[in-house]
Amino acid sequence: MTDFITDFADQADILPVVLTVACIMGLRGWWQGMYVWSVVIVLTLGIMLLLKIAGLYYAWLTQTVVISPSGHVASACVAYGGLLVLLWRRQLVRYPVAMLVPLLGVAVVIGYTRLQLQAHTMGEVIVGALVGCIGGMVLGMKCGPVPPSLWGYLLPCVVCIAMVFHGFHMGAETTIRHVFSPEELFPTHL
């Protein structure tokens, strides 16, 4: 069950979901939502990439274990948690701190699976949750009012795409470590 849940947060599942959401927002004419959604997702994933690279270099310079914040937690938080925030935006906009409830709910579920699989430490899960929750909060505050007609198209499509791509693995962590490995770029250090 743990693998089943955590697979929804793999980049091979998240990226098609994110693209589907952006396309549906655009097709339904909600340009502000599409723009904010796209920018927030790209920034969140970009920040996670930079943090993962920083963790590689920190470990290399200090000769310690690699620190790798949880991309699964951050991406699930901003994508799935962000969709929940948008779904309930009308109720949550009066109390922006309440947006943390669905965001942290997603973070706790995915974070728990990552810890159970021993893929990350508690600190790495917390960093991923922090980045994902910030992205989800920005999404909720900047998207503006959500057209009610959007949900009739969006939710079924997101569920279908998430199920179709469920179980696929992109191997983003391995690719990041291979492409940005300090040992490959600076082989004569120390």
pLDDT tens track of the chain, all 190 residues?
899 999 999 999 999 999 999 999 999 999 999 999 999 999 999 999 999 999 999 998 898 888 899 999 999 999 999 999 999 998 988 899 999 999 999 999 999 999 999 999 999 999 999 999 999 999 999 998 899 889 888 999 999 999 999 988 888 888 888 888 887 777 765 5
In this predicted structure, what is the pLDDT of residue 184? Answer: 74
Provide the token pair at 177: 């470590």
Calculate ∠ Cα 160-166-168, nearest 5°: 135
Tokens 């340009």 locate to 31
Whether 92 maps to a domain, the answer reads yes
Cβ-Cβ contacts under 8 Å for 82 (sequence gap 6 or more): 37, 40, 41, 103, 135, 136, 139, 140
Within a domain: 190: no
Return the exposure string of 56-81: e unless at least 16 CB atoms fall within 10 Å of the residue's CB, then b.
bbeebeeeeeebbbbbbbbbbbbbbb
Q: Which of 111, 83, 77, 162 is nearest to 6 (CA)?
A: 111
Residue 180 lies in a domain: no
Domain membership of residue 60 as a residue range: 2-167
CA 189 to CA 11: how far, in whole Å? 32
Q: What is the pLDDT of residue 19?
A: 98
The reply to whether 33 falls in a domain is yes
Query: Could you tell me if residue 41 is inside a domain?
Result: yes
Predicted local distance difference test score (pLDDT) of residue 181: 82
What confidence score (pLDDT) does residue 174 get?
A: 84
Q: What was the pLDDT predicted at 171?
A: 83
Any domain includes 71: yes
Question: What is the number of structural domains in the chain?
Answer: 1
CA angle 47, 179, 135 (to 5 degrees): 15
- Residues making up the chain, counted from first to last: 190
Q: Does residue 184 fall inside a structural domain?
A: no
154 within a domain of the structure (yes/no): yes
